[in-house]
Structure 1
Amino acid sequence: MVPAIALAGAGSASAESGYQSYPVAPGVQLKVRSGPGTNYSVVKVLTLGAWVTIRCQCEGTTISGPYGTTNLWDCIGNGQFVSDAYVKTGSDGYVAAHCG
């Protein structure tokens, strides 16, 4: 299935989950960690051109990336977190519910 094209930084709704999906920064193989910070282990690495579905968001380690500097982390699955600095959400703040 080909992901929907995001317009003006907006995410696309995932029909099966109701959560929004967003593109990872171009040219980035993003590390997915077991918690919201660089002190957590890497559980996998996303491929180039990946999209992520954000279930919820929380604060963690501050990271600088293509979309700014932030301490916001996106939960993309059970025990799977990526820094929001690498996800094009079109916002500097929360775009999903707070985790926990």
Structure 2
Amino acid sequence: MAVEEISESAGDAVQAELAADVVRYPIAPGYRVNVRSGPGRQYRLIRTLPYNVKVPVYCQKPGEQITGPYGTTTLWDNIADGEFVSDAYVNTGSDGYVAPRCS
């Protein structure tokens, strides 16, 4: 049992270290953005982000084409486990990938 506790603590430390390296990007001002379970509007709506938030981008993947304040893109940003927002609403400063591709 002690080995399991050590493994869990080590895993938590690794997750915390990885999270510290993730950059947070602002959502477009004046928008409340829908968070989906996958990279497209056909995926389940999980929640809606409040105004003026910054989101972490852990990885990115292609999906449904969306037009927003930052252009038209098929790129979707993974902001939490199983949660995606269109990159068209996230000010990453780039039209391309700013994070690893999601597997």
**TM-score if structure 2 supplies the norm length?**
0.81
CA offsets 1:48-73 (integer angstroms, 9 cap, x no match): 00110000000000000000000000
Among 78, 83, 86, the residue aligned to 1:80: 83
Residue matched to 1:47: 50
Letter in 2 for 1:35: G
Q: How far did 1:17 drift? A: 2.8
- Largest Rg, 1 or 2: 2
Q: Secondary structure at the match of 2:85?
A: strand
Greater helix share, structure number: 2
Aligned twin of 1:24 = 27
CA RMSD of aligned residues (A): 1.5
Alignment of 1:5-16 (within 5 A): 16=19
Count of residue pairs the alignment pairs up = 87
Give, in whole Å, the separation in 1 of the partners of 2:31 and 2:87.
13
Structure 2 portions without partners, runs of 5+ = 1-16
Q: Percent identity?
A: 52
Deviations 1:31-90 (A, max 9, x none): 000001110011000000011000000000000000000000000011100000000000
Give runs of aligned pairs for residues 58-97 of structure 1, distance below 5 A: 58-97=61-100
Consecutive aligned runs of 4 or more in structure 1 exceeding 6 Å deviation? none
Q: Determine which structure has the larger strand proportion and give its number.
A: 1
Name stretches of at least 5 consecutive residues in structure 1 with no aligned partner.
Answer: 1-13
Q: Work out the CA distance in 1 between the residues paired with 2:96 and 2:27.
A: 16
